[in-house]
Amino acid sequence: MNVLVLGEARSIHQQRIAGALAARGHEITFVTFAPALLPGIEVIDLADGSGSVPFLRFMRKVRRLRSLIRDRRIDVLHAHYISVYGLLAALAGPVPKILTVHGSDVLLARRTRYNRAVMRFVARRMDGFTSPAPHVTEALFLLGAEAGRIATFQYGVDCRRFHPRLAPRRGDETLKIISTRSLEPLYRVELLLMALSRMACGNRLRTVIAGEGAEAEPLAQLAWSLQLEDEVAFTGSLDEDGVAGALREADLYVSTSPTDGASLSLLEAMATGLLPIAPDIPANREWIRHAENGLLYRPGSPDALAEAIASGLHEGALREKARTENPAIIRDRADFGVGIRRLAEILENAVEGRGSR
């Protein structure tokens, strides 16, 4: 297949998907507003800063996208996110279109009337969808997507890379907490710092915050103001091997995001055998059974998070149970190889279905 991917080329997750499709022998053209170098894949920057009227700039992008699809004889378009990239896909002309939504792009954007109208327009013009979780699928359906065209699955984790450490920690080792969400306002990472400030951390606890984003400097300043600079380390952005290695060195994974689809950061932590601590929201209840393989806490509450972290630190048996059970859950329900095969089948079926019309 000749596949045009429309999304964020700088996203490590979208890079993995495009690379895996290319490894299956498909020709991939990645069109994006956020270009990056991808081995073996042509990346085309669609950004256009010229012109003063946003509508005219957007329509120039639509015309360029249509030309690319025509000139390169694209078989199928695979878009990420229902908002801007989804709208571009909806206007891309007569080519089969599959839209992958990631959760927050649907759950948060639908809160305004304008965004709901745009998403309804997009949802009714796709040939198929992939959704990471049932609650996101329901939101898509309410926006007008046909239920039979939505495939609900998380494309998953590379379990060859994300696996547990070979041996559990010794009892005298320093315990480590890790957060691997992007440092953007959406993910509320400041709640972790606020929770740590409520705890008597001592010399046996360290926290690693891996990632980058607009909140990196404000979060570092907050850690300093809370006198956590000796207990919290900011690593910046890590590649996949770096994330996997950092996870294997940790004991607890903490998420603070108040909304999610099916968080790959959570699934990577579970694949690595960590005890996850996450807000009690539908996305996380799909994967975490409270006090069995992880801990859930009241969303947005630093006090509740501090209490959950304290429980996780003191419950050695629960951490060991998570180390053995959580990797098996991910291998069974969210293996990347299985997810990519399913995505490839959806794209191939879209090409065959459009060709038979």
Please name the residues in contact with 352: beta carbons below 8 A apart, sequence gap of 6 or more. none
Q: What is the mean pLDDT of residues 124-151?
A: 95
Mean pLDDT (the chain) is 93
3-state SS, residue 5: strand
Q: How confident is the model at residue 357 (pLDDT cuts 50, 70, 90)?
A: very low
Rounded CA gap, 312 and 348, in Å? 45
Distances (CA, A) of 2 to 6, 76, 229, 349: 13, 7, 50, 14
328-343 confidence digits (pLDDT tens)? 999 999 999 999 999 9
Q: What angle do CA 168, 172, 175 make, to 5 degrees?
A: 65
CB of 206 closer than 8 Å to CB of 177: yes
| pLDDT confidence of residue 304 | 98
The mean pLDDT value for 49-75 works out to 88
| Region 12-25 average pLDDT | 95
Q: Is the pLDDT score of 243 beyond 80?
A: yes
Q: Write out pLDDT tens, residues 92-120.
A: 999 999 999 998 888 876 678 888 899 99
pLDDT band, residue 355 (cuts 50/70/90)? very low
Mean pLDDT over 258-284 rounds to 95
- Going by pLDDT thresholds of 50, 70 and 90, the confidence category of residue 12 is confident
Delimiting residues of CATH 3.40.50.2000 domain(s) in the chain: 2-156+335-355, 175-333
Q: Is the pLDDT of residue 354 over 90?
A: no
Whole-number percent of the chain with pLDDT over 90: 83
pLDDT in tens, 164-182: 988 766 666 789 999 999 9
Predicted pLDDT at 356: 38
pLDDT digits (tens, 9 = 90+) for 208-240: 999 999 999 999 999 999 999 999 999 999 989
Tell me the average pLDDT across 69-88: 96
Residue 146, burial from CB neighbour count under 10 angstroms (0-12, 13-18, 19+): middle
Is CATH 3.40.50.2000 the classification given to domain 175-333?
yes
* Length of the chain as a residue count: 357
Architecture of domain 2-156+335-355: 3-Layer(aba) Sandwich (3.40)
Rg over alpha carbons for the chain, rounded to the nearest Å, is: 21
Query: What number is the average pLDDT over the span 202-209?
Result: 85
Please name the residue ranges forming H helices in the chain: 12-23, 54-71, 84-90, 104-107, 113-123, 134-142, 190-197, 216-225, 240-248, 264-271, 282-285, 302-314, 316-333, 336-355
